[in-house]
Structure 1
């Protein structure tokens, strides 16, 4: 080959080198280093100017600065590779300082052949340019040779295209005839080891006993006489290690003497791609797949199930009340819980099943290759059992996290991943509606309920913007003298089409959607304004009671907003009473203590609503500054016919009085209940016995004293 090259005449065309840099001094120094009288050197001070020169001249080599305004070096190289006239022009990128991996990768992806760092060493620059210009001269020599000898044309063009890459020549019988130094280095073989070796030295067999030379892509190319390109293939080194390559197989022209294999080791590229893929598909906190990785896994699982004719299942696992935990105990505790839940979910499934974290407290499980839906139910029970085990937190605290699980199966539900996800989402919502900490399979009837819920939510948002909410007021009566001592404000919703919507229907939805915050602000503002309007019509000490939801209680703006409402309506603080539940008080005792202290500093009264139905521990009664306990209606309903309920009511009243707290009985409906509560020493009663909650316009018509017999 070398002797043939020596016999070829030197090209008569002068070689052109293009220098591109937005700094004039850099262009001059590069030109000075390269000037030898034989080269034509073109200078361009911008990417746009370089494009014009490239279109006007046959350029042998381009030296391009990376950092330039408007069109930088990467953009210029990418443009050159996309243009048929310039796509084969070698490009050396010039960059300041040490290039990081991302810059190098970006440059090679754009199409640069190599990098040089500034300040450029004149000797290194000259050496690299000489090599590339020699390649250009070789190209021109080969082009001249191709005009005379067809057989050597393809051979020399293949060799030229292999510059900087591994190149192996194989004859028509599969024997290796040559391998360039780059190929020998990548394969880890010596020149001597190539003697009498065949393609099996570097090309692993397919594992099929009959596999032979005729089954290889090399023989296929030889037979068809057409180039074959493979973005990904596998070669083996001398020690047996397999490594990924990209390769091009070209038939040596003329009489079909063999093929040339041009290849690159793409191990580094594949490792980088895998790293990027993992980063793009992995949740940083738990190490599980993220939403993108989950959807990829789900798609593959459905395709496998369709191909094999078996079943698979998708589970959505939503943690119950996690936001409350996160808000009260902090994000550090929340993150710890999520990580522990992730580990437990992994242990509940098989190694090839996929577990993903798709949202804040939302997980997904893809169960592959199932026999039937019963297998999915078994996994769901296993998950619920695993989550029932307490999670150890810092400081010795133990926390149990419940979950609601929705399951959608392929092919029963759908063969479309979006519809499967929708079905699992509907099922998990139904599990939450039915009490949480359980699982549901999707059934078509759930869609109707989900649509109804969505319509209700949209109507509720419209009610917030319109004038559909109202407050009704229920009197609270002093059992000793029958005087009205307060009113509880109760939210009502009158929809144009649905009519009166029950609070048990829309209040939980307000809480779930977060609309309870603006709705609660409206209740405070409207109630306080109404109480101010009643000034002079009601006794001075007659107070207004307002219930707080859990979300309102943890809202950091709660106390400032109450203060602002009181000031805006000139309402004395003692005329406003806040009602909380036991579970709200105990969710985060430090937060509770802080909020209660702030409310008491404002001068408000604070009572515990539904007392006796929440926490069994009564320690909070001495921890927190409270004014009253409200006995829940369930203990009042059977007060006159159940000794147990009467005993509970008596105990609550005695406990409250011993702690200097007032007692209010809710749900009082009969005169005998009033008489029993009077006998037990109850302070205040409230219920239908005195009338249902009424609109504000009817409150002033209520008597200030109620008949108690």
Structure 2
């Protein structure tokens, strides 16, 4: 009701009064004034009410804005799980428009694995009316999942029905951050590197478990202190000044540093220090990460040692020898100083390996290395080149002859008996080749090569001695290398030949056998003596192939002669020590006899005395296997070996051959006559037949006949002949 309406009603009221009730004009004026005052008051009240209504509408609008735009989702859900209301944030979180979300079941948007959790908390809320909170994984309409905190309260709607007021907060980022922090904490504690965090004043705030393990300090012993507690004292002030200068300029430093453990041990670390700054670029913390690199440095040192030293003997190796040779060559050029390089090769070392095993051989090499090292000057270098080869560099020699004095002393020293840990006593010798600086070369390669050439000469001349290098020896070494190449080709191209030297019965003068002798006729070189190529074949391991070829050729030839009607004779073939030691020689010979059809009783195998003495027990077994095949066994070059004659009775032998050196000076030298006579008598005592080699004169034959020797061979009867000529000679005697 406005003011005009009030006035109208007032006038109507006055007009309705009876005349007797009419007031005076003054009273009417007063009444009218009161009515106007009331009108104004009423208008004021109405205006205030209108203003209050506007404020209420504005407040309601603000409420709905806050409700819709709140940072959390608000849902009203019925007791049957149907969504009744949802704010804008809830629709955004679920990725569903509001109109599509209403009347939907809330559980539809909860991950299947978390459905039970939701229903259990919802049931507890309805039953107890106690607010419930839980964490669940929700699934958006597009399938993406996110983690929420769900807060549920129970309320009563206007119609009296129970409803659920639900607040959903997206906590995915918090979960990710929390997980990251847990992972970081786990990494911090389980890291194998020590970690230390300090404040800007270098006071230690926190350390990890690896820190305590590496330093020996418990956390409470270092927290609040500075890293100076770990200082070793090995770095000077300049080192730390440079380190902190880099940290201040770059915010980071990494390097190797030595620190001290709690027990006082100083050890190397690989340390990195990083400065942590705030938004104002002020340093708030320092983080130090370190690892113990003791084992790494030990491994590097070991690798460095192994790169320049022999792992078995700990002597310098070839690489270090070359480095010191280059140093000597430089001194020689600048100061005219002399030096000598000695190349050593142990004699009979292979016998130790074969007899006692490689562990015993290694032990012997270690003993040899120790003895060589202790007998030389500090400026000299002893190296192991490999196998049983050593080299010695003698620096600053006063005279070239001094190298010979050292070599002679080494030969004498190494010739002494060696006692192994298994109780065995062994003997080895040494051969030495010497090259001089600057006489024999101006490079490391030349000096080593020339010392090696001299060593071969020393071994060729009987071992156990030393030789200097000369140009003649170089040519001989080149000849040997060429011979090796030619020999391999000769075997492939059938350049080798077998000659036969008659063996004669002294009592009848008739040929009863022949020794097969290997010959090599080269198209350009001509006839190459066996004394030149047989040692090469043995050194390069070709002797086994050559020996098998000779056996096959001889047995095949013997079968042909028998088939041709020639009288049966024994054919003698030399076996090398290599054939005896390596492979199954008995099986090989059995196969050859079967293949060629040659009768085994006509095959005689000759072995040197030294071959029999090496590994005696094994040799006896092999000889017994050969005898079981039916072949005969002869000992060749008897008297030139180093064994006791009494050992002969242990071997299953048939023939004893007197070496040519004891026949040459008969009858001139009484000593040779007595030796030959003694060998004949001893052979017969052992029930062996005796054959003399190298008989060239009638006087020698007469002496042998007089002393009962059984057979002979030599130029007196015939030199070695090709197969066809020998067959003709054999036919001529019947």
CA contact (8 A) 1:221 1:250 kept: no
C-alpha distance in structure 2 between counterparts of 1:368 and 1:169, whole Å: 59
Alignment of 1:640-655 (within 5 A): 640-655=667-682
Alignment of 1:665-704 (within 5 A): 665-702=692-729
Equivalent position of 2:662 in the other structure:
635
Describe the superposition over 1:144-188 as per-residue Cα deviations: whole angstroms up to 9, x where unpaired. Answer: xxxxxxxxxxxxxxx9xx9964457799xxx95557525974555
CA contact (8 A) 2:690 2:711 kept: yes
Equivalent position of 1:511 in the other structure:
538
Q: Does 1:273 align with 2:296?
A: no
Query: SS in structure 1 opposite 2:597?
Result: coil
CA contact (8 A) 2:490 2:496 kept: yes
Equivalent position of 2:242 in the other structure:
217
Query: SS in structure 2 opposite 1:690?
Result: coil
Equivalent position of 1:245 in the other structure:
269
C-alpha distance in structure 2 between counterparts of 1:363 and 1:39, whole Å: 79
Equivalent position of 2:183 in the other structure:
132
Query: SS in structure 2 opposite 1:700?
Result: helix
In structure 2, which of residues 565, 568, 571 is the aligned counterpart of residue 544 of structure 1? 571
C-alpha distance in structure 1 between counterparts of 2:512 and 2:558, whole Å: 13
C-alpha distance in structure 2 between counterparts of 1:188 and 1:300, whole Å: 44
Equivalent position of 2:14 in the other structure:
none
Equivalent position of 2:561 in the other structure:
534
C-alpha distance in structure 1 between counterparts of 2:567 and 2:488, whole Å: 37
Deviation at 1:524, TM superposition (A): 0.5
Describe the superposition over 1:72-127 as per-residue Cα deviations: whole angstroms up to 9, x where unpaired. Answer: xxxxxxxxxxxxxxxxxxxxxxxxxxxxxxxxxxxxxxxxxxxxxxxxxxxxxx99
Query: SS in structure 1 opposite 2:645?
Result: coil
Query: SS in structure 1 opposite 2:494?
Result: coil
Larger CA deviation: 575-584 vs 412-421: 412-421
C-alpha distance in structure 2 between counterparts of 1:699 and 1:306, whole Å: 61
C-alpha distance in structure 2 between counterparts of 1:133 and 1:395, whole Å: 59
Larger radius of gyration: 2
Structure 1 residues 572 and 407: CA distance shift in structure 2, 3 A:
same
Deviation at 1:516, TM superposition (A): 0.9
Deviation at 1:234, TM superposition (A): 2.1
Q: Does 1:348 align with 2:405?
A: no
Structure 1 residues 687 and 412: CA distance shift in structure 2, 3 A:
closer
Q: Does 1:288 align with 2:328?
A: no
Alignment root-mean-square deviation, CA: 4.8
Deviation at 1:531, TM superposition (A): 1.2
C-alpha distance in structure 1 between counterparts of 2:600 and 2:469, whole Å: 51
Alignment of 1:19-58 (within 5 A): none
Larger CA deviation: 557-566 vs 405-414: 405-414
Structure 1 residues 559 and 706: CA distance shift in structure 2, 3 A:
same
CA contact (8 A) 1:476 1:685 kept: yes
Structure 1 residues 129 and 706: CA distance shift in structure 2, 3 A:
farther
Count of matched residue positions in the alignment of Structure 1 and Structure 2: 552
Larger CA deviation: 398-407 vs 264-273: 264-273
Query: SS in structure 1 opposite 2:634?
Result: strand
C-alpha distance in structure 2 between counterparts of 1:39 and 1:422, whole Å: 84
Larger CA deviation: 397-406 vs 211-220: 211-220
C-alpha distance in structure 1 between counterparts of 2:528 and 2:440, whole Å: 33
Q: Does 1:262 align with 2:313?
A: no
Query: SS in structure 2 opposite 1:487?
Result: strand
C-alpha distance in structure 1 between counterparts of 2:248 and 2:442, whole Å: 43
Deviation at 1:628, TM superposition (A): 1.7
Describe the superposition over 1:657-676 as per-residue Cα deviations: whole angstroms up to 9, x where unpaired. Answer: 23332221111112222222
C-alpha distance in structure 2 between counterparts of 1:528 and 1:671, whole Å: 32
C-alpha distance in structure 2 between counterparts of 1:370 and 1:38, whole Å: 86
Larger CA deviation: 622-631 vs 196-205: 196-205
C-alpha distance in structure 2 between counterparts of 1:687 and 1:418, whole Å: 47
Structure 1 residues 431 and 533: CA distance shift in structure 2, 3 A:
same
Deviation at 1:521, TM superposition (A): 0.5
Describe the superposition over 1:206-243 as per-residue Cα deviations: whole angstroms up to 9, x where unpaired. Answer: 5xxxx53477532553687585532x432233554211
C-alpha distance in structure 1 between counterparts of 2:286 and 2:452, whole Å: 56
Alignment of 1:328-339 (within 5 A): 329-331=355-357, 334-339=358-363
CA contact (8 A) 1:184 1:191 kept: no
Query: SS in structure 1 opposite 2:271?
Result: strand
C-alpha distance in structure 2 between counterparts of 1:163 and 1:612, whole Å: 74
Alignment of 1:217-616 (within 5 A): 217-219=242-244, 221=246, 227-230=252-255, 232-237=256-261, 239-248=263-272, 262-267=288-293, 269-270=295-296, 273=299, 277=303, 287-289=312-314, 294-295=317-318, 297-298=320-321, 317-327=344-354, 329-331=355-357, 334-349=358-373, 359=386, 361-364=387-390, 381=408, 383-392=410-419, 398-406=425-433, 425-439=452-466, 447-535=474-562, 540-615=567-642
C-alpha distance in structure 1 between counterparts of 2:324 and 2:594, whole Å: 61
Deviation at 1:473, TM superposition (A): 0.8
Query: SS in structure 1 opposite 2:644?
Result: coil
C-alpha distance in structure 1 between counterparts of 2:622 and 2:365, whole Å: 31
C-alpha distance in structure 2 between counterparts of 1:700 and 1:633, whole Å: 25
Structure 1 residues 274 and 223: CA distance shift in structure 2, 3 A:
closer
Structure 1 residues 133 and 607: CA distance shift in structure 2, 3 A:
closer
Q: Which runs of 5+ in 2 are unaligned?
A: 1-111, 114-133, 140-176
C-alpha distance in structure 1 between counterparts of 2:348 and 2:434, whole Å: 20
C-alpha distance in structure 2 between counterparts of 1:462 and 1:303, whole Å: 39
Deviation at 1:537, TM superposition (A): 5.5
Deviation at 1:468, TM superposition (A): 0.6
C-alpha distance in structure 2 between counterparts of 1:303 and 1:178, whole Å: 54
C-alpha distance in structure 2 between counterparts of 1:492 and 1:374, whole Å: 42
Query: SS in structure 2 opposite 1:531?
Result: helix
C-alpha distance in structure 1 between counterparts of 2:197 and 2:393, whole Å: 46
Query: SS in structure 1 opposite 2:514?
Result: strand
C-alpha distance in structure 2 between counterparts of 1:462 and 1:646, whole Å: 44
